[in-house]
Amino acid sequence: MSKVKRILIANRGEIAIRIAKAANELGHDSIGFWTDNEPKAYHLEFCKEWVHLSGNNISETFLNIDKIVSLALENKVDAIHPGYGFLAENSEFVRKVEKEGMIFIGPNAEAIDLMGDKAKSKKIARDAGVPTVPGSDGVVDTLEEARKVTKEMGYPVLLKAVAGGGGKGMRVCLDEKELEKNFEAVQREGASSFGNPDLLIEKYILDPRHIEVQILADKNKIYHVYERECSIQRRHQKIVEESPSPFIGDDQKLRESICKTAIDLAQAVNYDSAGTVEFIMDGDKSFYFLEMNTRIQVEHPITEEVTGVDLLVNMIKSAFGEALDITSQDQITQKGHSIECRICAEDPITMLPAPGVINGFSYQLNQGVRFDHCIYPGVEITPDFDPMIGKLITFGLNRDVAIRKMIEALKHLKLIGLKSNVELQKVIVSEKSFKEGKYSTKYIEMIKPQEDLKEKSFNDKDFLEIIMSELVSKVVR
């Protein structure tokens, strides 16, 4: 066993809990921090130590490189794990951490730089023989140049901020009028959200599937941990994911091809940690490189469920230069099926964030059900952070079993005091197109599961009745 390391978790919520559990399992000291606007952060219960990061907003805390690095040095930290979001894909943060003699648990700064710029990453993909969506060769600076590019490839097209992410800085244009309307808007959004107004233009693929491949690497070898299907989205943000992809299905040749392609891209940038290569796939199963996320993904649990590979543990081991739990690609196999539903504090019909206080909650974990969450009675979900508060994950011997388990798990998940998308998720996983695996990124706008919902009121009395009922049933058993 390696020497005990002190790992600072520069994140919060369910991913901070997941990192703490992985660090503790390896015998390291997990250190979490609390902030002035979140003094009772739930993840601290899973950390061996707590430290205070002063500040009342994310600019003063989770996005403040100097403060986090100073806090780490004060507490004699050996390494920092960024989780996802915040500073996870910030190469300046990586370099500062390493300059101070600490280890960044994630990929090298050069890989983050190369994959973080959509124009650069697209060129690298082409040079590596990875198929890319037809589009501009680089940044498009003017509307006149945009007209020329789109005339050559034809409509519809997608305007994309080069530094965008999370669905921001993206606009679909069906004709020249929409191009003129959206061009400067995307530039402004890129500048305000990411500090970079540059944009690319790509051919917009109608009715695509969103398929991604999990990568896991150390300093010597790169492995793929198979694919995930992430096509059910709202506002270009995922809400349901599953593995294996039902669209790829039994086509093992296609599966091997897309996974090998992901490794080719990772090798082109000397990748050395956990990461995800994302593709879009059209109706004839041609696939094109979309982007690479140089961090652990929200949806990593479904990959862990179907392969048995602990991505967080191996990510930590890779950063410390230790041998991974796997020694060859042949050791990694897919077995069964796993589905993840993101549980968010949002209106189930409009799918817009709905901050509030969780007065109580109840859930039931049958065999094959996992709930990664950051919920406790009295927690306030604020507009300061992403509305996702948990991830409900099921595993079954096949897809039908995984769906059945998810339907049952959602029935027993009750959140009291605020709106959530639980009711929407119930509709989706019970709906015919989803059950048949016949869906695309257009699912929400075409199937419109939200229209089947009837808003329900669920008060504290109802919640107490559920709790009492469960207590009685346990006594009876």
- Could you give the residue numbers annotated as active site? 295
Is the Cβ–Cβ distance between 239 and 342 less than 8 Å?
Answer: yes
Cα-Cα-Cα-Cα torsion 307, 312, 318, 322, nearest 10 degrees, comes to: -90
Is the Cβ–Cβ distance between 299 and 241 less than 8 Å?
Answer: yes
DSSP track, 129-143: T--B-SB-SS---SH
Q: Which two tokens stand for residue 13?
A: 């919520």
CA 129 to chain centre: 26
Alpha helices in 130-249 (DSSP H): 143-153, 176-194
Sign for the pseudo-dihedral over CA of 285, 287, 291, 296: positive
3-state secondary structure of 282: coil
Give the burial class of 142: count Cβ atoms within 10 A of its Cβ; 0-12 exposed, 13-18 middle, 19 or more buried.
exposed
- CA–CA distance from 58 to each of 3, 76, 106 (Å)? 33, 23, 21
Preceding peptide of 156 cis, ω within 30°:
yes
Q: Which residue has the tokens 């943060």?
A: 93
What are the b/e assignments for 183-192, b being 16+ CB within 10 Å? beebbebbee
What one-letter code names the amino acid at 392?
Answer: L
First-to-last alpha carbon distance for the chain, in angstroms, is 43
Rounded Cα distance, 171 and 274, in Å: 29
The residue among 155, 161, 156 whose CA lies nearest residue 186 is 161
DSSP track, 27-72: T-EEEEEEBTTBTT-GGGGGSSEEEE---SSTTTTTT-HHHHHHHH
